[in-house]
Amino acid sequence: MGNGSGSDVESELDVQLISQAADGINLWYWETPYWLYSFAVDFYGSADVPDVISMSWGWAEDQQCDIVDCNNITSRHYVERVNNEYLKIALRGTTILVSSGDAGAPGRTSESCSTERPINPVFPGSSPYVLSVGATYVNNINNSRVNFTSGLCSNHSCVEGTNESSITYDAVSWTAGGGFDLYHNETFSWQKDAVESYLFSGVELPNYKNFNPFGRAYPDLSAVGHSCPTYIGGYLSGVDGTSCSAPVVAGLLSLVNDHLWENKRLKLGYANPLIYDIAKTCDGCFNDITHGYNWCTEEECCDNSTEYGFSATDGYDPVSGLGTLNIGKIIHHIDTYYNFTNI
């Protein structure tokens, strides 16, 4: 999705990474000058829309009105109105993928680790009606190797390792976002078991005054977000960000959506309940990322670290979510485990 300014790095990244993840799908480029609510209204009112959206916008939940004129409503009211529109879009059959942010749990409104704003959920990555996507990088220093033979890897340098960790500042100079939203007072049923397992796992948590343990936890999923191959102005560059991982997951889920449509005449649509159920019922459908943390930003790692973010652990965590996707196993599990009726 564009921002009304024509082709740029963000737009090129979205389009190229989706196409790399899902060769042969139909690509849309949706250009708009509007912020979240106005875009959502325009999108929902359009006759023809794509089945999957990848979106890399975001700002602190409680400071939405710093981005747009809220016309005498609060940031909380603005977030609630946007969530209503996202729910309508999801019920129409469109899956919304949103990046979880690139400044860790503190977010871009606390790049220097303010004690007054230690943890700041980023919207719309924290919306319950999107699939929120964090990011990983591959640590090449391990005993497992994959020898990729694609043209890209033959002509350029590609990672060969298989050991993934969550993106952190001290590894790649930025941090993938994650945490809990501010405004919900009950964990959504589809992620309740996963989130409660995390909260009661014994992992060290921030003080409850710094985050909302009953909120919507994000991200849901992750994908590689470091050194993503992107042609900019005719030259190949390695681009970083959850702006890379979100379109990668969007491309992969486009394959799931196409498979469901071709075989069952069903759309993936609001995928959150299905994704979390697959995680509970399928061994190997997700690669659990157990190393990493998000108490850093794009500028530094915070002192008194656990007051500024969360640690990865076994199972779900608000650092890398359920992990990265094994899309072949996911499609096979959908075919063999669920009794979807062909309509």
Whole-number average pLDDT of the chain: 92
Both tokens assigned to 219: 């991200």
Using the 8-state DSSP alphabet, how is residue 183 labeled? Answer: S
What pLDDT shows up at residue 203?
Answer: 96
Query: Sorting pLDDT into bands at 50, 70 and 90, what band is 10?
Result: confident
How far lies 182's CA from each of 85, 210, 216, in Å? 19, 10, 8
Which pLDDT does position 141 carry in this prediction? 61
pLDDT tens digits for 277-323?
A: 999 999 999 999 999 999 999 999 999 889 999 999 999 999 999 99
Tens-place pLDDT, residues 91-125: 999 999 999 999 999 999 999 999 999 999 999 99
Give the least confident one: 53-57, 142-146, 178-182, 263-267: 142-146
Model confidence band, residue 133 (pLDDT cutoffs 50, 70, 90): very high
CA 180 – CA 210 distance, rounded (Å): 10
Nearest to residue 179, comparing CAs of 332, 321, 35?
Answer: 321
Give the span between the Cα atoms of 61 and 41, in whole angstroms: 19
| Banded pLDDT at 240 (limits 50, 70, 90) | very high
**Does residue 145 surpass a pLDDT of 80?**
no
Q: How confident is the model at residue 6 (pLDDT cuts 50, 70, 90)?
A: very low
Which range among 161-175, 245-259, 273-287 shows the weakest confidence by mean pLDDT? 161-175
Q: In this predicted structure, what is the pLDDT of residue 143? A: 55
Q: What is the pLDDT of residue 159?
A: 77
Query: Is the pLDDT confidence value at 158 over 90?
Result: no
What's the sign of the alpha-carbon dihedral 198, 84, 221, 299? negative
**Domain 9-337: which topology?**
Rossmann fold (3.40.50)
Would you say residue 164 has pLDDT above 50? yes
Whether the predicted pLDDT of 3 surpasses 70: no
Confidence grade of residue 2 (pLDDT, cut at 50, 70, 90): very low
What pLDDT is recorded for position 343?
45
Q: Tell me how far apart the alpha carbons of residues 321 and 319 are, in angstroms, rounded to a whole number.
A: 6
* Whole-number pLDDT of residue 255: 96
Candidate from 14-28, 155-169, 217-231, 267-281 with smallest mean pLDDT: 155-169
Q: Considering just the CA atoms, what is the radius of gyration of the chain in Å? A: 19
Q: Where are the domains of the chain?
A: 9-337
Element (H, E) at 82: helix 75-92
- Tell me, what's the pLDDT at 152? 75
Residue 157 has a pLDDT of: 75
How high is the pLDDT of residue 4?
41
217 bridge partner residues: 180
> What pLDDT shows up at residue 23?
85
pLDDT band at 341 (very low <50, low <70, confident <90, very high): low
* In the predicted structure, residue 272 carries a pLDDT above the cut 90: yes
Question: Which DSSP symbol is given to 48?
Answer: S
Q: In terms of C-beta distances under 8 Å and separation of at least 24 residues, what long-range contacts does 26-34 make, across chains too?
A: 26/50, 29/1, 29/2, 30/1, 30/2, 31/1, 31/2, 31/3, 31/4, 32/1, 32/2, 32/3, 32/4, 33/3, 33/4
323-333 tens-digit pLDDT: 999 999 999 99
Of 169, 316, 174, nearest to 243 by C-alpha is 174
State the Cα–Cα distance between residues 130 and 55, nearest whole angstrom. Answer: 10
Active site positions, annotated = 10, 14, 243
Tell me the pTM: 0.93
Distance from C-alpha of 237 to C-alpha of 231, rounded to nearest angstrom: 6
The residue-averaged pLDDT of 236-240 equals 91
Mean pLDDT of the 185-199 span? 97
Q: Does 5 score more than 50 pLDDT?
A: no
